Amino acid sequence: MKGKIISLNVSENKGVRKKPIREVSLKTAFGIEGDAHASSEWHRQVSLLAIESIKKMQDKGLDVKPGDFAENITTEGIDLLSLPVGTHLAIGKDIRLEVTQIGKECHNRCAIYYQAGDCVMPEEGIFVRVLCGGIVREGDPIAVDL
């Protein structure tokens, strides 16, 4: 399964929409440099959401774009929900990620829900840890690493 990176998104605070940037530095066993969710202390270092999921929300009438659901990496062409925990992803030749969680439990409706009108991350987002870092840019290829 192959796809591409549509958007890279970061924020200084948790629970808010992320702002798109052209490239990010993924740090091994840490996450995206400068992002609020980066940490060596947990398994949800980087979040991914498919543009196809965002388009479903747009089709419902929501005015949303990549980063609005607080995902770090917006992908296209990969069925993220079909990837079991433990799946490895490759970005370019050197960067490796490992799927650590599918979806998440939202105990309370967060700011994203109220800002966007709904949230798709709990059902359709995935989380990864960084096995081997590097620089990622919009348009880079992403694939399941077999």
Summarised one tens digit per residue, pLDDT across range 79-122 is 998 999 999 999 999 999 999 998 766 556 555 555 555 566 65
What is the value of pTM for the model shown?
A: 0.89
Q: Taking residues 110-137, what's their average pLDDT?
A: 77
Residue 32 has pLDDT above 60, yes or no: yes
Confidence of residue 70 (pLDDT cuts 50, 70, 90): confident
For the chain, percent of residues with pLDDT exceeding 70: 87
141-144 vs 31-32, strand pairing mode: unpaired
Contact status, residue 124 vs residue 75, Cβ threshold 8 Å: no
Residue written as token pair 């799927």? 99
Task: Give me 126's structure tokens.
Answer: 């995935």
Which architecture characterizes domain 2-144 according to CATH?
Beta Barrel (2.40)
- Nearest CA-CA partner of 29 in 106, 129, 112: 129
Q: What is the pLDDT of residue 14?
A: 82
C-alpha torsion angle, residues 4, 7, 8, 14 (rounded to 10): -130
- The overall average pLDDT reported for the chain is 88
Domain ranges of the chain: 2-144
- Nearest CA-CA partner of 12 in 3, 1, 2, 21: 21
Q: How far apart are CA 132 and CA 53, in angstroms?
A: 27
